[in-house]
Structure 1
Amino acid sequence: MNPVSPANSGGADAAIEKMEATFNMAIEKSSKITELSTAKKAELDATKQRPQN
């Protein structure tokens, strides 16, 4: 049996690099969203009146 050689690994490498860049961008955006929502929640909690005992 003859081993099958990969057609063009350059295309696969480029596709992987593109996916990694997209994934990294998504992580960065998610981090910013989490940071903003956490700040808003903290701000909202600070404005709530809490009963004094």
Structure 2
Amino acid sequence: MATVTPPASGGADAAIAKMEAAFDAAIEKSAKITEITTEKKTELDATKQRPQN
């Protein structure tokens, strides 16, 4: 049977930290996209002419 060496200490912690950083970056980008699209939709709604009754 082959021997398996345990991962270096902190390997899991480092991987988790890296994933957290990736998720944080994705959340920031998503928030920015949502902000921009909301602004664009608001501008579009403001330019639409609605008939007055």
**TM-score, scaled relative to structure 1:** 0.83
Distance of 1:39 and 1:47 partners within structure 2: 12
Task: State the number of aligned residues.
Answer: 48
**SS of corresponding position for 2:35:** helix
Name the Cα RMSD after superposition.
1.2
Residue ranges of structure 1 left out of the alignment (5+ in a row): 1-5
Give, in whole Å, the separation in 2 of the partners of 1:17 and 1:28: 16
**What percent of counterpart residues are identical?**
77
What residue is the counterpart of 2:48 in the other structure? Answer: 48
Q: Partner residue of 1:34?
A: 34
**1:36 aligned partner, one-letter code:** I
Which stretches of structure 1, 4 residues or longer, exceed 6 Å deviation after superposition? Answer: none
Aligned equivalent of 1:3: none
Separation (CA, whole Å) in 2 of partners of 1:28 and 1:18? 15
Give secondary structure in 1 for the equivalent of 2:10: helix
Aligned equivalents of 1:14 and 1:23: distance in 2? 14
Name the counterpart of 2:10. Answer: 10
